[in-house]
Amino acid sequence: MNGDFWKQTLGRVPASLWRETDLETLVLAENDLTDLSDEIGHLVHLRMLDLGHNRLTSVPASLRALARLDFLYLHDNQLTALPPSLPAVSYLNVGENPLGALPPCISELVSLVELRAASCGLTSLPDEIGRLTNLRELHLRDNALTSLPSAVGALVALRQFDLRGNPLAALPPSLATLPRLDKLDLRWVKTLPPAADGLVDGLRSRGCLVYR
Superfamily of domain 2-211: Ribonuclease Inhibitor (3.80.10.10)
Domain boundaries, the chain: 2-211
For 158-184, write each residue's pLDDT tens digit. Answer: 999 999 999 999 999 999 999 999 999
Q: How would residue 78 be classed by pLDDT, with cut points 50, 70 and 90?
A: very high
Return d(Cα 31, Cα 9) in angstroms, integer: 4
Smallest CA-to-CA distance from 164 within 145, 137, 136, 180 is with: 145
Distance CA 103, CA 109 (A): 11
How sure is the predictor about 198, in pLDDT bands with cuts at 50, 70 and 90? very high
What are the φ and ψ backbone dihedral angles of 196, each rounded to 5 degrees? -75, -15
Confidence of residue 103 (pLDDT cuts 50, 70, 90): confident
Task: Give the pLDDT score at 1.
Answer: 64
The helix/strand/coil state of 176 is helix
The closest of 175, 151, 149 to 161, measured between CA atoms, is 175
Is the overall model pTM greater than 0.75, yes or no? yes
pLDDT tens per residue across span 7-45? 998 999 999 999 999 999 999 999 999 999 999 999 999
